[in-house]
Amino acid sequence: MLCRFLSRYCSQSKAVGSSAVSDVATLAQALELKTQHKAYNSLEQWLEDRDQWKITQPATALLGEGVPVVPVTHRTLKTAVTDGTHLYVNPQWSKMLDDASRRFVHAHLIWHCAANHCRLPSARDERRWHLACDHQVNTQLLQLGFELPMQAVLFPACIGKTISKVYDWLADNPLMKEESSLDELPWPSGERQDRCGPKLNGSPEAGPLRQYWSERSFRVVRAYAGASSLPAPVASWLLAQWPD
Ligand SMILES: [Zn+2]
């Protein structure tokens, strides 16, 4: 279909533009379109995951419904990240994941949003704070029945602790050096902003974003609390992330 589109696109352009320069420009545009098409194609599995979740993980499917998955081929995004409005994924990296790992990262990003993690932390060590957030999200994913890959962040000694407590616990812990998050910081990082990376959608407005995810979380709790896709302890935890 793309080939047909490209050949039609090129022949139409040739009919109106006769110079070699416009031909080169047309070819460049066509190649750009092809690259974009390929990048989006490589993330089709992410959309298929959501279709499957409608049956197997309906609470997570509803949480993530309509949140766009955007391929980013720029070198500054090595894995995946969310800013609370989109999920940005490096398609080359995604291709290397097995199905369980891809679904885990996908759900991990959505639950970062639902857990109100997409705001700048006041903690000084952003990496350590992200590890603490990851631990909290992954604890919920475990209870939801998601398969956690070997490298997923989880500290059994910290189950049930708040993010601040996990953050403090990690301060002098040798585990800090060994652990790494699969995704990137789910808030506008100073380091990422400084690099000449892709202009994602910028820092989302905290107020509207908070309202969006709190309303969505309450909706999911009303629909699924107590079901296997949202066991009662996870539903309670989710509500606790959105105090008045
Ligand atoms: Zn994370």
Distance 56 CA to ligand 1 centre (A): 22
Distance 86 CA to ligand 1 centre (A): 14
pLDDT at 40: 60
Distance 6 CA to ligand 1 centre (A): 39
User: Do 129 and 198 fall into the same domain?
Assistant: yes
Distance 37 CA to ligand 1 centre (A): 27
Instruction: Give the Cβ contact number of residue 43 at 10 Å.
Output: 19
User: Do 19 and 139 fall into the same domain?
Assistant: no
The Cα–Cα gap between 205 and 209 comes to 6
The number of folded domains in the chain is 2
Please list all protein residues whose beta carbon sits less than 5 angstroms from ligand 1, which is an ion. Answer: 134, 181, 183
User: Do 31 and 111 fall into the same domain?
Assistant: no
User: Do 185 and 125 fall into the same domain?
Assistant: yes
Distance 195 CA to ligand 1 centre (A): 20
Distance 16 CA to ligand 1 centre (A): 50
User: Do 86 and 182 fall into the same domain?
Assistant: yes
pLDDT at 124: 87
SS3 content of the chain, % helix, strand, coil (to 5): 60, 5, 35
Distance 183 CA to ligand 1 centre (A): 5
What pTM value is reported for the model?
0.80
User: Do 33 and 114 fall into the same domain?
Assistant: no
User: Do 30 and 77 fall into the same domain?
Assistant: no
Distance 198 CA to ligand 1 centre (A): 19
User: Do 189 and 121 fall into the same domain?
Assistant: yes
pLDDT at 136: 96
- Which stretch of DSSP H or E encloses residue 52? helix 44-56
User: Do 35 and 152 fall into the same domain?
Assistant: no
Distance 196 CA to ligand 1 centre (A): 22
User: Do 67 and 126 fall into the same domain?
Assistant: yes
pLDDT at 12: 36
Q: Helix axis angle, 99-114 relative to 206-224, nearest 10°?
A: 110
User: Do 92 and 28 fall into the same domain?
Assistant: no
Give every residue of the chain whose pLDDT is below 50, as ranges.
Answer: 1-17, 194-202
Domain range spanning residue 17?
2-41
User: Do 71 and 32 fall into the same domain?
Assistant: no
For every residue of 126-191, which 3-state class applies, written as one string?
Answer: HHHHHHHHHHHHHHHHHHHCCCCCCCCCCCHHHCCCCHHHHHHHHCCCCHHHHCCCCCCCCCCCHH
Distance 132 CA to ligand 1 centre (A): 9
